[in-house]
Amino acid sequence: MQNRLVPFIFLYTDQKLLSNSYPAHISHSLVMYTCALTKQVQQALVEGLYCGKRVCYDVLGVSRDASKAEIARAYRQLALRYHPDRQRDPEGRAAAAAAAEGAQEQFLLIATAYETLKDEETRKDYDYMLDHPEEYYSHYYHYYSRRLAPKVDVRLVILVTVCAISIFQFFSWWSSYNEAINYLATVPKYRIQATEIARQQGLLNRAKERGKNRRSKEEMRKEEEDIIKSVIKNKIDIKGGYQKPQVYDILFFQIILAPFYLCKYVAWYCWWIYTFNIKRQEYGEEEKLYIIRRYMKMSQSQFDTLEDQQKETFLERQLWIRENYELYKQEQEEELKKKKATDPRWKRYRRWMRNEGPGRLTFIDD
């Protein structure tokens, strides 16, 4: 009802016209209602929001039910009339300069009104503000939430970020893997085994080169080093943080496969409850190692780095039973204390902490 009566306000503000068209009591009621609606609209207008104390529809000279085409047409006409380039005075007179400044302010107000009304969502918020002036803080929230909203789609930003992290993650893992291979190539135990395997495969038993095709010793040494590293890569299964990176381990594929992993975990958990809690079946070797790993609070990659002999010791001591694991944990803590007590490095460290300490001033270089 209010939306239809807003144009009516500006058409019938002359009391004489109302008195001539309607009886006295009806004209008086319409004037009072018109004044009430005008006061309500004035209360809704807040300086700093949209067109300030002006109604955006009045700025463009259109009604509230105007279409997008009508709003755009009115904006183009007013923009041509009040454009700053058309208000310049080549003689630079003071009166013309003041008029140009007023026209520039009017042009900015027209542009603000058009920006407000051309977007459906912003126009809807603005109409709601005119109809509900009492929701003061809500109008501020809607205005600044749209104005400060990022222009770029948040989903696109998240996708680019995930891809960048995944690429960095993959190349970082490859760097760690190559560092591990380079280190193993310097360990005599693995280097000798890799050299023997390479000779058995005929990779190092090449005839001596002569003439122009003869290479330098540096090139031959580099080729031999690459062959040894290649054998180590193929024969040694590195586990843990330095294992060979897989594409499916990076963040991008982990997010894509998250629903699959979640369903897989739920199915596995239901199978565990049904098999071992309901049917009371005994644990297998894999299940026992899983329980031990959970007690030790180790990830799968960390647990895989342990030697097989150490895992067999866990099984022999039945560490999947909570009481046995607690006893084993106490034994390990006591053994660690004994090592620290007999280790000269720990003695020096305790002596330094007692005499010097990290928070004391000292002039000793070491």
- b/e burial code for range 189-217 (CB count within 10 A of at least 16 → b): ebbebbbebbeeeebbeeeeeeeeeeeee
Residue 298 lies inside a defined structural domain of this protein = yes
Residue 269 lies inside a defined structural domain of this protein = no
Q: Same structural domain for residues 51 and 138?
A: yes
The range of the structural domain enclosing residue 345 comes to: 282-355
- CA dist 30 and 12 (Å) reads 9
Q: Same structural domain for residues 192 and 140?
A: no
Q: Same structural domain for residues 305 and 328?
A: yes
pLDDT, tens digit, 9 for 90 and up, residues 279-306: 989 999 999 999 999 999 888 877 887 8
Alpha-carbon distances of 124 from 118, 184, 297, rounded to whole Å? 10, 68, 55
Tell me, what's the pLDDT at 185? 86
Q: Same structural domain for residues 166 and 98?
A: no
Tell me, what's the pLDDT at 322? 92
Domain closes at, from 105, 125, 147: 147
pLDDT, tens digit, 9 for 90 and up, residues 149-201: 666 677 888 999 999 999 999 999 889 888 888 888 888 888 888 888 888 88
Q: Which helix (H) or strand (E) covers residue 77, if one does?
A: helix 68-82
Residue 109 lies inside a defined structural domain of this protein = yes
Residue 120 lies inside a defined structural domain of this protein = yes
Q: Same structural domain for residues 167 and 229?
A: yes
Q: Same structural domain for residues 110 and 168?
A: no
Average pLDDT over residues 223-231: 86
Residue 202 lies inside a defined structural domain of this protein = yes
Tell me, what's the pLDDT at 274? 93
What is the CATH number for 136?
A: 1.10.287.110
Average pLDDT over residues 46-55: 78
Higher pLDDT, 271 or 143: 271
Contact (CB, 8 A) for 322 and 294:
no
Write a three-state SS string for 17-47: HHHHHCCHHHHHHHHHHHHHHHHHHHHHCCC
Q: Same structural domain for residues 137 and 162?
A: no
Tell me, what's the pLDDT at 133? 78
Residue 2 lies inside a defined structural domain of this protein = no
Q: Same structural domain for residues 238 and 158?
A: yes
326: pLDDT confidence band, cut at 50, 70 and 90? very high
Tell me, what's the pLDDT at 344? 79
- The token duo for 42 is 């004035």
Higher pLDDT, 48 or 4: 48
Domain closes at, from 147, 171, 187: 147
pTM above 0.75, yes or no: no
SS3 135: coil
Tell me, what's the pLDDT at 4? 38
Q: Same structural domain for residues 143 and 158?
A: no
Residue 13 lies inside a defined structural domain of this protein = no
Q: Same structural domain for residues 126 and 180?
A: no
Q: Same structural domain for residues 122 and 192?
A: no
Average pLDDT over residues 341-349: 76
Q: Same structural domain for residues 241 and 326?
A: no
Contacts 24+ apart (CB under 8 A), 322-328: 322/295, 325/292, 325/295
Residue 197 lies inside a defined structural domain of this protein = yes
Residue-averaged pLDDT of the chain? 78
Number of folded domains that form the chain: 3
